[in-house]
């Protein structure tokens, strides 16, 4: 067993354990931190198959940006864990049974019989000056231009939908519009004279 | 690898809709609240232009452009044109409803147009990647539209359910796609088809992937047992959104099934036929039986959708060119009937009142004879009463099933559609033989009457002369 294979099994095991921890931890902050661990170790797996760019992007984008945002959200929201876990023990036997059955089935299909090393031999090593980033860019902007554009439209839709569903103009806010303030002129805008009838005589004891 | 702008000509309809949706977003910033009607006009003109472009670039040889991700053939031309026509109807019918409730904002039009774009992408997809992205584009727009009325608790709940179950369905589909990619090493449908023809049922991974694909398709169609989301979403979403998501997406879902099961995995037909038989029988049975018990008409139409999906599957599972054409005919016709039926509900709704219950249809004949006639026509057509088009659609589908020797299936289908006729005819009864509970005016400004008349006459006319539409459908599967 070569050193690479040893590394693969190490990090694959870490990924699986971390993923398991994500769904079983009681504290949501711990769960998010385990998710970070899962991402980092899968980034190492990317590196092992010489997809350096993807590996680094995974760390930069997912761990660096997305997960940090996620952590903020989890810390700010008050998640009621008791309610979430109410059915956990009750449904554990049946859930576990289904999961076990599916795991066996998936292993039979995805296992070594169909996806073994014979079916997918190691690709020839790339030359030293080979650039992952360049190859990815070429594929993305030529061969997959159409899916790339649709993905861009999907992101636009996500922005539009998110703004529509969350942005509200609240009538009761005390926000002051500076431009309206500046435009106030002398005279009727600034002072309003109110004519009132005089009060009747007030009896004083 | 050179880029040639000639390659973009077949994609013109999609490009037009994309430009239109972006233009609507920009124009929305500059029009005053009182002039939001401009957006409606803009959307109508744009969709009509895209329809013209579809017909203009359509016809002739099958073209595959954009590195094999995009295909333009007889199927895509016909389905795209129908999606855009139904889209036009949706915009016309829903204008008053949206305006009265302050929902006629730029975002509504932009999201609805992006949904149309998603459907067109699905229809014209020639790779798993394009199909999946088109599906997600459509689904994301619909999730947001279901929750569009922010003050409606039911809308938010429906959107949440739709989102979770829709994501589950997409996940299933994606898992199946990844299996098939693993087995064939390609995402392009024709390359997948070549590998499938070579290996067929021997490759366990392909069969495994196929099962997940069928589950995903079942989710998107809303076939039993993957139908749980349909009634709740139809009931909770604003009626214009139900009109949108209950009509045109059925055509897109048909395209999804055709592209995946026939173009991609046609070689595994013996395998998916059995799965579709189960889905079809369950959908026809459960849909028709549960629809009888409903008092909410949106919920009733939701169960009716489920039963119609069963009929569409009948055509697909026949596995013959005639069967596919019959399924396509059925999907197109169903989209038109659904648009008409939900359109009538929108006409019956007014400021502060949503027509949702069967009782709201009472005595429609005394309030407006013409709309009553159109609604009765839609119901007769959905029930499959001759000479309306719904009957022809059912007839073609059943004929395809009998032709492959599955007469028992045709008998089951006829049995359930007779049961189903009850709740459609009950509506006709309410319209004609009950006294109206209110005499509030109907809301039908801005060409609704014209559009509804065209819609009704199309259902009647296509029933009398189905040959043209049938010929178009058959040409798509030559």
Contacts made by residues B369-372, CB under 8 angstroms, sequence distance 24+ = B370/B449, B370/B453, B371/B344, B371/B347, B371/B442, B371/B444, B371/B452, B372/B431, B372/B432
Q: Which residues contact B415 (CB under 8 A, 6 or more apart)?
A: none
Find tokens 């870490």 and name the residue: A14
Q: Tell me the two tokens of residue A11.
A: 């990090």
Asked whether the predicted pLDDT for residue A200 surpasses 70, the reply is: yes
Asked whether the predicted pLDDT for residue A85 surpasses 80, the reply is: no
Predicted local confidence at residue B39, as pLDDT: 92
The Cα–Cα gap between B157 and A103 comes to 33
Predicted local confidence at residue A4, as pLDDT: 85
Asked whether the predicted pLDDT for residue B6 surpasses 90, the reply is: no
Task: Give tens-digit pLDDT for B150-168.
Answer: 888 899 999 999 999 999 9
The Cα–Cα gap between B332 and B330 comes to 6
Asked if omega into B188 is within 30° of 0 (cis), the reply is: no
Predicted local confidence at residue A81, as pLDDT: 65
Predicted local confidence at residue B141, as pLDDT: 95
Query: Closest Cα of chain A to B127: distance in Å?
Result: 10
A151 touches chain B (CB under 8 A): yes
Q: For residue B107, list chain A residues with Cβ-Cβ distance below 8 A.
A: 160-161, 163-164
Find tokens 């008050």 and name the residue: A78
The phi and psi torsions of B117 (rounded to 5 degrees) equal -60, -45
Q: For residue A165, list chain B residues with Cβ-Cβ distance below 8 A.
A: 144, 147, 150
Predicted local confidence at residue B245, as pLDDT: 92
The phi and psi torsions of A118 (rounded to 5 degrees) equal -70, -40
8 A C-beta contact, residue B361 and residue B432: no
Burial of A125 from C-beta contacts in 10 A (0-12 / 13-18 / 19+): exposed
Q: Could you tell me the pLDDT band of residue B436, with boundaries at 50, 70 and 90?
A: confident
The Cα–Cα gap between B167 and B173 comes to 10
Print burial letters for B426-440: b (CB count within 10 Å at least 16), e (below 16).
ebbebbeebeeeeee
Predicted local confidence at residue B22, as pLDDT: 94
Q: Closest partner residue to B137 among A115, A154, A164, by Cβ? A: A154
Print burial letters for A54-85: b (CB count within 10 Å at least 16), e (below 16).
bbebbbeebbeeebeeebeebeeeeeeeeeee
Asked whether the predicted pLDDT for residue B1 surpasses 60, the reply is: no
Predicted local confidence at residue B298, as pLDDT: 93
Asked whether the predicted pLDDT for residue A2 surpasses 90, the reply is: no
Mean pLDDT of B384-388: 88
Asked whether the predicted pLDDT for residue B4 surpasses 70, the reply is: yes
The Cα–Cα gap between B105 and B205 comes to 47
Counting one residue from A and one from B, how many pairs have CB atoms under 8 Å apart?
A: 82
Across the interface, whether the CB atoms of B205 and A109 are under 8 A apart is answered yes
| pLDDT mean across residues, chain B | 91
CB atoms near residue A180 (< 10 Å): 9
Across the interface, whether the CB atoms of A150 and B67 are under 8 A apart is answered no
The Cα–Cα gap between B415 and B242 comes to 28
Mean pLDDT of A31-46: 92
Across the interface, whether the CB atoms of A164 and B111 are under 8 A apart is answered yes
Q: Closest partner residue to A157 among B111, B134, B150, by Cβ? A: B111
Query: Closest Cα of chain A to B351: distance in Å?
Result: 22
A170 touches chain B (CB under 8 A): no
Mean pLDDT of B175-186: 90
Task: Give tens-digit pLDDT for B281-298.
Answer: 999 999 999 999 999 999
- Note the ipTM here: 0.91
8 A C-beta contact, residue B283 and residue B309: yes
Q: For residue B66, list chain A residues with Cβ-Cβ distance below 8 A.
A: 145-146
Q: For residue B162, list chain A residues with Cβ-Cβ distance below 8 A.
A: none
Helix or strand or coil: residue B465? coil
Closest by Cα among B237, B276, B240 to B258: B276
B129 touches chain A (CB under 8 A): yes
Q: At what angle do helices B321-348 and B74-100 cross, to 10 degrees?
A: 10
Closest by Cα among B159, B335, B138, B137 to B237: B159
B458 touches chain A (CB under 8 A): no
Across the interface, whether the CB atoms of A146 and B179 are under 8 A apart is answered no
Helix or strand or coil: residue B11? helix
Mean pLDDT of B429-448: 84
Predicted local confidence at residue A86, as pLDDT: 67
Q: What is the DSSP letter of B434?
A: S
Q: For residue A143, list chain B residues with Cβ-Cβ distance below 8 A.
A: 1, 67
The Cα–Cα gap between B74 and B473 comes to 8
Task: Give tens-digit pLDDT for B220-249.
Answer: 999 988 988 999 999 999 999 999 999 999
The Cα–Cα gap between B48 and B29 comes to 23
B1 touches chain A (CB under 8 A): yes
The Cα–Cα gap between B168 and B156 comes to 18
Chain B residue nearest residue A146, CA to CA: B66
Predicted local confidence at residue B238, as pLDDT: 92
Q: For residue A153, list chain B residues with Cβ-Cβ distance below 8 A.
A: 18, 114, 117, 137
Across the interface, whether the CB atoms of B107 and A164 are under 8 A apart is answered yes
Asked whether the predicted pLDDT for residue B47 surpasses 80, the reply is: yes
The phi and psi torsions of A180 (rounded to 5 degrees) equal -70, -35
Predicted local confidence at residue A1, as pLDDT: 60
Model pTM score: 0.90
Q: For residue A169, list chain B residues with Cβ-Cβ distance below 8 A.
A: none
Query: Closest Cα of chain B to A146: distance in Å?
Result: 6
Chain B residue nearest residue A145, CA to CA: B66
């Amino acid at each position: 067993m070569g050193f690479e294979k040893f590394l693969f099994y190490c990090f694959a095991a870490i990924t699986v354990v971390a993923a398991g921890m994500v769904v079983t931890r009681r504290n949501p902050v711990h769960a998010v931190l385990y998710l970070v661990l899962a991402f980092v170790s899968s980034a190492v797996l990317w590196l092992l198959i010489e997809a350096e760019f993807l590996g680094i992007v995974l760390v930069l984008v997912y761990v660096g940006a997305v997960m940090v945002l996620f952590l903020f959200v989890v810390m700010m929201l008050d998640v009621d864990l008791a309610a979430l876990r109410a059915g956990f023990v009750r449904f554990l036997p049946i859930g576990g049974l289904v999961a076990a059955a599916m795991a066996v089935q998936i292993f039979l299909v995805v296992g070594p019989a169909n996806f073994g090393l014979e079916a997918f031999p190691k690709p020839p090593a790339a030359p030293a000056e080979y650039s992952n980033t360049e190859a990815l860019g070429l594929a993305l902007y030529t061969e997959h231009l159409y899916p790339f554009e649709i993905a861009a439209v999907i992101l636009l839709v996500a922005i539009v939908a998110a703004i529509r569903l969350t942005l509200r103009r609240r009538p009761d806010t005390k926000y002051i519009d500076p431009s309206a303030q500046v435009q106030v002129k002398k005279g009727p805008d600034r002072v309003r004279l109110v004519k009132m009838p005089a009060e009747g005589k007030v009896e004083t004891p | 690898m050179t880029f040639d702008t000639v390659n973009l000509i077949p994609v013109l309809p999609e490009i037009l809709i994309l430009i239109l949706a972006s233009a609507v977003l920009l124009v929305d910033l500059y029009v005053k609240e009182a002039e939001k009607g401009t957006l409606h006009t803009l959307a109508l003109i744009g969709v009509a232009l895209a329809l013209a472009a579809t017909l203009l670039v359509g016809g002739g040889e099958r073209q595959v452009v954009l590195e094999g991700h995009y295909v333009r053939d007889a199927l895509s031309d016909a389905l795209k044109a129908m999606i855009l026509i139904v889209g036009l109807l949706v915009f016309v019918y829903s204008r008053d409803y949206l305006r009265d409730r302050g929902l006629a904002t730029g975002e509504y039009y932009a999201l609805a147009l992006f949904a149309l774009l998603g459907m067109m992408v699905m229809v014209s997809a020639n790779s798993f990647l394009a199909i999946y992205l088109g599906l997600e584009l459509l689904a994301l727009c619909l999730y947001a539209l279901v929750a569009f009325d922010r003050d409606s608790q039911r809308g938010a709940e429906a959107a949440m359910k739709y989102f979770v179950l829709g994501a589950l369905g997409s996940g299933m589909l994606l898992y199946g796609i990844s299996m098939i990619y693993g087995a064939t090493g390609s995402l392009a449908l024709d390359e997948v088809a070549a590998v499938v023809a070579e290996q067929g049922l021997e490759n366990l991974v392909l069969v495994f992937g196929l099962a997940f694909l069928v589950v995903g398709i079942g989710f998107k169609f809303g076939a039993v047992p993957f139908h749980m989301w349909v009634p709740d979403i139809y009931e909770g979403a604003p009626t214009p959104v139900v009109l949108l998501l209950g009509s045109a997406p059925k055509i897109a879902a048909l395209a999804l099934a055709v592209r995946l099961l026939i173009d991609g995995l046609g070689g595994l037909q013996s395998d998916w036929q059995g799965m579709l038989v189960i889905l079809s029988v369950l959908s026809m049975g459960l849909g028709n039986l549960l629809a009888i018990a409903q008092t909410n008409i949106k919920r009733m139409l939701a169960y009716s959708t489920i039963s119609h999906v069963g009929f569409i599957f009948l055509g697909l599972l026949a596995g013959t060119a005639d069967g596919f054409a019959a399924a396509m005919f059925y999907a197109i016709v169903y989209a038109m009937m659904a648009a008409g039926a939900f359109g009538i509900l929108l006409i019956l709704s007014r400021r502060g009142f949503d027509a949702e219950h069967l009782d709201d249809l009472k005595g429609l004949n005394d309030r407006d004879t013409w709309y009553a006639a159109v609604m009765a026509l839609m119901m007769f057509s959905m029930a499959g009463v001759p000479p309306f088009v719904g009957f022809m659609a059912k007839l073609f589908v059943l004929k395809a099933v009998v032709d492959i020797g599955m007469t028992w299936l045709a008998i089951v289908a006829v049995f359930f559609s007779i049961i189903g006729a009850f709740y459609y005819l009950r509506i006709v009864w309410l319209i004609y033989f009950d006294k109206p509970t209110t005499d509030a005016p109907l809301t039908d400004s801005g060409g609704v009457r014209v559009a509804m008349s065209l819609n009704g006459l199309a259902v009647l006319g296509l029933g009398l002369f189905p040959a043209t539409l049938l010929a178009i459908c058959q040409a798509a599967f030559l």
